Structure 1
Amino acid sequence: MPRIPDVTLANPRADRVKQVRALSGRPARSRHGQFLVEGPQGVREAVRHAPGQVRDVYLTETAARRYGEIVEAASDAGRRLHVGTPEVLAAMSPDAQGVLAVVRAAPVSLDEALTAARGDRPLLVAVLATVRDPGNAGTVIRAADAAGADLVVLAGDSVDVHNPKTVRSTAGSLFHLPVVVDVTLGEAVAGVRAAGCAVLAADGAGQHDLDEVLDVAGTSPQDNVPDLAADTAWIFGNEAWGLPEEDRALADAVVRVPIRGRAESLNLATAATVCLYASGRAQR
């Protein structure tokens, strides 16, 4: 068990506490180039997979004893550990669960992410087009990570990837794969296409049925049926209105997820998960 530092933060109204709490807002995140990671799962993944980005780790004494692996990983990486009272951690973030980290943003360009991802297996990219709900965006990042995708792109007027709810919803996957921001959908499509990806749009009005596309993956399908076994970038649209016609027109094909029951539709995160897993299966 690593040594737990003494409690040094006891005043919930201290300037440090206010500075940390301010990072829940976008102006402070933009000004300082830092964001919050709340809860043991996210902090654990940050100190394990992106220790160079972690500036400070804050824990209650109880959390430090319970999550010794976080204390150990942060100490081994030379990160600054602070132990505060439960009142201090709650003042920093009501969603901290006794564990919180301040992390430096590490922007990555689309070209950099695609170059780093290129290996001996097909590329798989998730592109979110004007996705504004932080929980949905974070859940898609988590699903992309689970499905084996290489990167995620938040294009157009999408939510800030460092919004606290988005970060929490990724459950640590934010530190497992690159997430590209500050690009238009047109720039994202041009970039992934230049990298060799077929561009598929997920939409309920799609010409192609996902099950039928998956059935013929890797078998030289005819009639312009996309091959899910090849390099693929999926475009997923806004929660409320999906993909407008001009965005669908950017894709090589539009694919619908079949609905067998009486559900009117699938939500964004569920549809994205189904599509990404279909590609992941075909590519492997």
Structure 2
Amino acid sequence: MLTNPRAQRVKSVRALGRRSARERAGRFVAEGPQAVREALAFAPGTVVEVYAEPGVAERHADLLTAAAAAGVPVHETSPEVLSAMAGTEHPQGLIAVCRPVDVPLAQALGPDPRLVVVLTNVRDPGNAGTVIRCADAVGADAVVVSAASVDIYNPKVVRSTAGSLWHLPLVRGVEIEQALEACSARGLRVLAADGAGSTLLPQVDLTGPHAWVMGNEAWGLEEAVRERCDDVVRVPIHGHAESLNLAMAATVCLYASAGAQRGPS
């Protein structure tokens, strides 16, 4: 059992909370049973090692069985060590160190995408993770996160995805111009979701292949990005709220797309 919170191994795992350390190591941390379960179920080859407090074997025997089946080492740690490794006060007794899961843009889009989400200048980890989770829920083909956005391996992003990080193709670090060009080249109609739009969401035909472009939480999309899109769409506000936040607006738009393309389910 690992019991020394000041051990070098513990410090190395804790350091993965910083982007610079993640990029140097090519690793990131997933905290909690939900994240570890999804990583082992959908991408076991990306899981490097698992750290578990005493008692996890009784509470989450399925996870340890899955780790063993994938050849992933499991290290028992004291609660103090796990707390020192994790970025949260209560990491739920389990964390995994993982390899990146993002893929190249061309691979993510594939030959015939129907619904794609592009995030640019999205800085809030919770918003980014929630949009990825929503994209997964509606069956989107991919999520593209621009170079100007938060790192998808930020621990808060990983937690906010609730496991969806391992469910659908993700792209990170591309320039927004490259992402938009690639979407257009695949036959996707590119729709900017922005409060400055003159087209209301209910007016848009969402039955065909399209990509939603979502921008910064505070100031939306840059004018150059809006001009590059095929249409600029806003969610109607019927009450007195100034606007919806990014994650809420994305959810509304994506479920409108899913309803148009898939129908009720």
Q: So what's the TM-score if we normalise by structure 2? A: 0.95
Q: Which residue of 2 aligns with 1:282?
A: 260
Q: Which residue of 2 aligns with 1:133?
A: 124
Aligned: 1:207 with 2:198: yes
Question: Superposed, which structure 2 residues align to 1:42-191 within 5 Å?
Answer: 42-95=35-88, 96-115=91-110, 118=112, 123-191=114-182
Structure 1 position 181, deviation (Å): 0.9
Contact 2:14 2:87 in 1 (8 A): no
Separation in structure 2 between the aligned mates of residue 179 and residue 13 of structure 1, nearest angstrom: 35
Decide which of 212, 228, 232 is 1:250's aligned counterpart.
228
User: Aligned with 2:74: secondary structure?
Assistant: strand
In structure 2, give the amino acid aligned to 1:57.
Answer: V
Separation in structure 2 between the aligned mates of residue 179 and residue 171 of structure 1, nearest angstrom: 15
Contact 2:143 2:171 in 1 (8 A): yes
Structure 1 position 139, deviation (Å): 0.7
Separation in structure 1 between the aligned mates of residue 102 and residue 199 of structure 2, nearest angstrom: 35
User: Aligned with 2:236: secondary structure?
Assistant: coil
Separation in structure 1 between the aligned mates of residue 84 and residue 229 of structure 2, nearest angstrom: 46
In structure 1, give the amino acid aligned to 2:127.
Answer: N
In structure 1, give the amino acid aligned to 2:57.
Answer: A
Structure 1 position 11, deviation (Å): 1.4
Structure 1 position 277, deviation (Å): 0.8
Q: Which residue of 2 aligns with 1:38?
A: 31
Structure 1 position 94, deviation (Å): 4.4
Aligned: 1:10 with 2:3: yes
Separation in structure 1 between the aligned mates of residue 102 and residue 231 of structure 2, nearest angstrom: 30
Contact 2:87 2:155 in 1 (8 A): no
What 5-or-longer segments of structure 1 have no aligned partner?
A: 1-7, 214-226
User: Aligned with 2:101: secondary structure?
Assistant: coil
**What's the % identity of the aligned pairs?**
58
RMSD: 1.2
Q: Which residue of 2 aligns with 1:193?
A: 184
Q: So what's the TM-score if we normalise by structure 1? A: 0.89
Alignment coverage as a number of residue pairs? 260
User: Aligned with 2:228: secondary structure?
Assistant: coil
What 5-or-longer segments of structure 2 have no aligned partner?
A: none
Structure 1 position 63, deviation (Å): 2.4
Instruction: Extract structure 1 runs of 4+ deviating beyond 4 A.
Output: none
Larger mean CA deviation between 101-110 and 194-203 belongs to 101-110
